Amino acid sequence: MRVLVLEDDPDLGPVVAARLRGEGFAVDLARTLAEADLKLSVNRYDCVVADRSVPDGDSLTLLAEHRRTGSALPFLLLTALDTVSDRVAGFEHGADDYLVKPFAFAELVVRVRALCRRERPARLPVLRAGDLEVDLPRRRVSRAGVLLSLSAKEFSVLEVLMLRAGEVVTRTELIERCWDEAAEPMSNVVDVLIGQLRRRLGPPDPIGTVRGVGYRLGEADPNPAAGART
């Protein structure tokens, strides 16, 4: 899940981004409306967390512009403006949620995760493919009934593969969904992560390699000797 954080505070912005990354989100940080608007135009996000007051204006203007275009991208307003009229204005402009500063990071994470899921088509909270099971609400992964321990990034990649089980997911798609803009598209971060995930899941390998393209969950590599495995 990829999140855009619009926050101009030089201390709070990086902390919010770091805490969300620690929970498995890919996070891009913007400090102005113009920067946020540019990122929104070139990247696909699951949620926006926006401070109301930034150097070049009120994020309500950015929110209103996106709603006028028909965008349903979830927006969470994160602000010190805490009067009833402030909150009403936020919702009237199309905000999906409103969290007042100071806030608890645990609450922010829960709210962001809920908004990211709202953007996706309705689905069962538990995903299954063969003997592999992913419990999304509890963020638990098991195989053949055995609970597995995955890192936040491994869980994120596995979730995307499970949602597209049986389909080819390209390396570019995985980077766009699970990494932020700091990731180098031409690097081998995806292949390395897939290798780690394969070791976590154990044999038989449920992730098939479509050479030169990406990966498919639910189909083992038909010829693993043909090339190096990650």
pLDDT at 228: 35
The pTM of the full predicted model, rounded to 2 decimals, is 0.66
pLDDT at 120: 56
Pick out the chain residues at pLDDT < 50.
220-230
pLDDT at 123: 53
DSSP code per residue over the chain? -EEEEE---TTHHHHHHHHHHHTT-EEEEESSHHHHHHHHHHS--SEEEE-SEETTEEHHHHHHHHHHTT----EEEEES--SHHHHHHHHHTT-SEEEESS--HHHHHHHHHHHHHHHSPP--SEEEETTEEEETTTTEEEETTEEE---HHHHHHHHHHHHTTTSEEEHHHHHHHHS-TTS-TTSSHHHHHHHHHHHHH-SSP-EEEETTTEEEET---S-GGGS---
Q: Answer whether 2-119 and 126-226 agree in fold.
A: no
The domain defined by 2-119 carries CATH number 3.40.50.2300: yes
CATH classification code of 126-226? 1.10.10.10
Domain boundaries, the chain: 2-119, 126-226
